[in-house]
Amino acid sequence: DRYQLEFKLAYPIDRAQKRTHYRLSIFIFVPQNLGIHRHSYTSADFYRDIQNYIRLKTPSMSLTELAEEPASPLNVMTRLLREGNWPKDRETAGQLINSFKFTRAILKSAIRDELEAFVRQMAGRADDAHLSSALAEQINDLCAQVQTVVRAYRTAETLLPETIESANPLIQEVRLAYKLSDEAISLLVERDYVRALLLLRRLPQDERVRQVAACLAACAEAEAAYRRAQGYTSVIDPNSRNEEYMYRASVLKKYTSSVLFLYRALRREGTVLEQVLYAVAAGVSMIFATLVAFYFQQRYGNFTTPFFAALVVGYMFKDRIKEIGRLISSRYLQRYLYDRRIDVRTMDGQERLGYIREKMHFIPEGEVPPEVMQARNRQLMTELANDGQGEQVIRYDKEVTLFCNAFEHIYPNMPQFTGLNDIMRYDIRPFLYKMANPTERVLYVQNGRLRKAKAHRLYAVNFVLVYQDKDRVQGDGQAVIYERSRAMMDRKGLQKVEVFA
């Protein structure tokens, strides 16, 4: 997406403790000429532009464990189908449907981990002939393991009664969930076969690499043919716009991932304290006005000009004292409290897994921690570009608290969950409004002749992420993680993103 930056964070739980705590801070360094400051970009604007997706972390299993481990969702599914109690028990039927979805979720995670390991092995060694043959064999083994899992899943269909043979709504519901998950699995493995094929094309093309590539291509085509034979409509047609394909692929992905979704209850933090402080401010102002009125009434009596003037002046100061008290209270709350709190629960609301507190505000550069400024690594040209005024700095703080015991009660028949994933998407369109034209024609001289060239104008917005496991830092003093990212953008959106260690 040209208009969104994505940050993905993991919050693993420590089962040895009742609670696990994390603190995250993101410092956004914005050039002065983009017109982003505390008056033009409020906290409400920021929270409008940032979107949080909080999910359960997919249980970690290898493809071999998914196929062979008794507690894997694939084998739990087979066991529940063979026991045959699910058509009469909605709870068991629900466990069966969840096992379909978890099979796809864990399969996706396991294949992704394997492919990422291949990419790491290829880094800087893509021309190594020995590595080429070894990777080809590993990818071939991966393909075989994926096919083993997929065959086991599809074999389980023989244990399902035909929908037309029964009016039992549970049978219809379970069979529909099975077919939807089956289509989602087929789309997933076809996509990953293609990704593996692209990796092979980056290697030296010896005989073994070509054989494995041909096998992957055949497997990908077989998946498309399978979906067509099953009557699934998520098949690419090169002569159409493939709107149905994109729509079904997106819906099926959300459907099978729904077992990882969590319910988020959002509310402002410190609402009660805010009202108490406002009431105190109103009370102080009323005390002042009342004392003034009593004094002048006793001194000059009722229905006199001084008493009337005192009432007016007292009311004037009462109003100002009240507003000043509200202002002081707001600053106090902003300094010591967070903007909002997100309670994280399971979708059925049965388990409260933790809560997240968020806060956003602009800070002067003098308040930026030295370690963050060092990670920012600002150069001379940046100082000159901002007329020596520095940059506008947005600080976004997030404090995460997880209740470790609650994770043991989620999906008891599935593998244990080890934490949460937090995916943050940040819309950068407000940064684009005051940018100049993205390209400009410039003249230069070459070999005595005037020539034209196109120059591209980019703006850099830097993000420094500070990630801290509060328990570990307080316990054994481990270092906090600092990571800097630079988003290069123009009026048309993001052009590239660079990550620095």
Q: Which of 340-344, 348-352, 495-499 is least confident?
A: 348-352
- The answer to whether residue 431 scores a pLDDT higher than 90 is yes
In this prediction, residues 398-422 reach a mean pLDDT of 89
| 445 membership: H or E segment, kind and range | strand 439-446
In this prediction, what percent of the chain has a pLDDT beyond 70? 92
CA distances from 65 to 36, 60, 341 (A): 51, 10, 38
Q: Report the mean per-residue pLDDT for the chain.
A: 87
Please state the φ and ψ torsions of residue 29, each to the nearest 5 degrees.
Answer: -100, 110
| CB neighbour list of residue 188: distance below 8 Å, 6 or more residues apart | 104, 107, 108, 111
In this prediction, residues 50-76 reach a mean pLDDT of 92
Over the stretch 283-314, which tens digit does the pLDDT of each residue have?
Answer: 888 887 888 788 777 887 777 787 778 778 77
Cα distance between residue 421 and residue 58, in whole Å: 9
451: exposed, middle or buried (Cβ count in 10 Å: 0-12, 13-18, 19+):
exposed
> What pLDDT, on the 0 to 100 scale, is given for residue 23?
92
- The answer to whether residue 37 scores a pLDDT higher than 70 is yes
In this prediction, residues 226-239 reach a mean pLDDT of 92
What does the block give as tokens for 110?
């396991």
Please state the φ and ψ torsions of residue 50, each to the nearest 5 degrees.
Answer: -105, 135
- The answer to whether residue 275 scores a pLDDT higher than 80 is no
Q: Is 93 left (phi over 0), alpha (psi -120 to 50) or beta?
A: alpha
In this prediction, residues 258-269 reach a mean pLDDT of 88
> What pLDDT, on the 0 to 100 scale, is given for residue 56?
93
- The answer to whether residue 14 scores a pLDDT higher than 80 is yes
CB 188 within 8 Å of CB 108: yes
> Which of 93 and 279 is assigned the larger pLDDT?
93
- The answer to whether residue 385 scores a pLDDT higher than 60 is no
Q: Is 50 left (phi over 0), alpha (psi -120 to 50) or beta?
A: beta
Over the stretch 461-486, which tens digit does the pLDDT of each residue have?
Answer: 999 999 987 665 544 445 688 899 99
CB 342 within 8 Å of CB 355: yes
Strands 419-427 and 4-12 come out as antiparallel
* Residues paired with 362 in a beta bridge: 394
> What pLDDT, on the 0 to 100 scale, is given for residue 204?
81
CB 215 within 8 Å of CB 196: no
What does the block give as tokens for 254?
């959300």
> What pLDDT, on the 0 to 100 scale, is given for residue 475?
47
| Strands annotated E in 284-386 | 340-345, 352-363
> What pLDDT, on the 0 to 100 scale, is given for residue 441?
92
In this prediction, what percent of the chain has a pLDDT beyond 90? 52
Cβ neighbours, 10 Å, residue 491: 15
CB 60 within 8 Å of CB 109: yes
| CB neighbour list of residue 91: distance below 8 Å, 6 or more residues apart | none
> Which of 283 and 6 is assigned the larger pLDDT?
6
241: exposed, middle or buried (Cβ count in 10 Å: 0-12, 13-18, 19+):
exposed
SS3 115: helix
> What pLDDT, on the 0 to 100 scale, is given for residue 490?
92
In this prediction, residues 227-253 reach a mean pLDDT of 92
> What pLDDT, on the 0 to 100 scale, is given for residue 453?
92
Cα distance between residue 278 and residue 270, in whole Å: 12
In this prediction, residues 219-241 reach a mean pLDDT of 93
Cβ neighbours, 10 Å, residue 87: 17
pLDDT category of residue 165 using cuts at 50, 70 and 90: low
> Which of 319 and 144 is assigned the larger pLDDT?
144
- The answer to whether residue 260 scores a pLDDT higher than 90 is yes
The CA-based dihedral angle spanning residues 468, 470, 472, 473, taken in that order and rounded to the nearest 10 degrees: 70
